[in-house]
Chains A and B, each alone.
Chain A
Amino acid sequence: DSGVTQTPKHLITATGQRVTLRCSPRSGDLSVYWYQQSLDQGLQFLIQYYNGEERAKGNILERFSAQQFPDLHSELNLSSLELGDSALYFCASSVGSHRPAPNEKLFFGSGTQLSVL
């Protein structure tokens, strides 16, 4: 058990809808990351937050947004869903630092499997 909790584990929804994925990082970790895993794109970095502030952005669509709350949990919001958004969405956390630390070990949650029908 990595200590990172993601809910829900599975989500089935229809095209055009909006969903929210939730992540609770390991106790004491300040950085939260979101990754998308799909068959065609593989594992892609979406976005990172450190202590409530956006730290780095990857290939995140404009229809997607995220935030990290004062209690350090994070939410990933996906709107106007399309069939191609079906994927496994991972949250990861790390201790974090106010300076970028590319050597940090990430702890991943078990993911949210999103199916858009």
Chain B
Amino acid sequence: AQKVTQAQTEISVVEKEDVTLDCVYETRDTTYYLFWYKQPPSGELVFLIRRNSFDEQNEISGRYSWNFQKSTSSFNFTITASQVVDSAVYFCALSEGAQKLVFGQGTRLTINP
């Protein structure tokens, strides 16, 4: 069965610090997709990134970077030089053959000024 674990329930850092959000997944499939979504205080879920199981290249987008390691079934998300606007709940999710997302429990990130 698919499972996504985000062990960090809450993280609080001071602005400009780097922070890494952990995501560990379980799946029996060889083909799957991993996602990160952001849920800001306004409530809607915003897509951040998608990665397929055959692409282990790390990705950087501005201050955001993602580290996909198939050997450890992890897809971690790092925010460099964090800003107050990064405060949100971040969800890691997994999708296999069935067209549905299985979400982790989320990590609430608070960036303090």
Contact with B along A36-79 (1 / 0, CB 8 A): 00000011110010000001101000000000000000000000
Interface segment, A11-19, A20-28, A104-112?
A104-112
B43/A110 in contact, CB under 8 A = yes
User: Which of chain A's residues has its CB closest to B100's CB?
Assistant: A45
User: Which of chain B's residues has its CB closest to A90's CB?
Assistant: B45
Q: Is the interface of A mostly helix, strand, loop or mixed?
A: strand
Return A91 CB to nearest CB of chain B, in Å. 11
A106/B47 in contact, CB under 8 A = yes
User: With contacts A42-B105, A102-B33, A102-B95 known, is A107 near B100, CB below 8 A?
Assistant: no
User: With contacts A103-B33, A103-B52 known, is A111 near B44, CB below 8 A?
Assistant: yes
Report which residue of B44, B96, B100 has the largest number of chain A beta carbons within 10 angstroms of its beta carbon: B100
User: With contacts A42-B103, A45-B102 known, is A105 near B50, CB below 8 A?
Assistant: yes
Return A111 CB to nearest CB of chain B, in Å. 6
Closest 3 CB pairs of A and B: A108-B45, A43-B103, A102-B95
Interface of A toward B, CB cutoff 8 Å: 2, 31, 33, 35, 42-45, 48, 55-56, 58, 88, 90, 92, 100-111
Between A and B, 7 residue pairs with Cβ closer than 8 Å are A55-B99, A88-B43, A103-B33, A103-B52, A106-B45, A106-B47, A110-B43
A42-B103, A108-B46, A110-B44 known; 17 other A-B pairs, CB under 8 Å? A2-B44, A31-B99, A33-B100, A42-B104, A43-B106, A44-B103, A48-B99, A88-B43, A100-B98, A101-B99, A102-B33, A102-B97, A105-B50, A107-B47, A108-B44, A110-B42, A110-B43
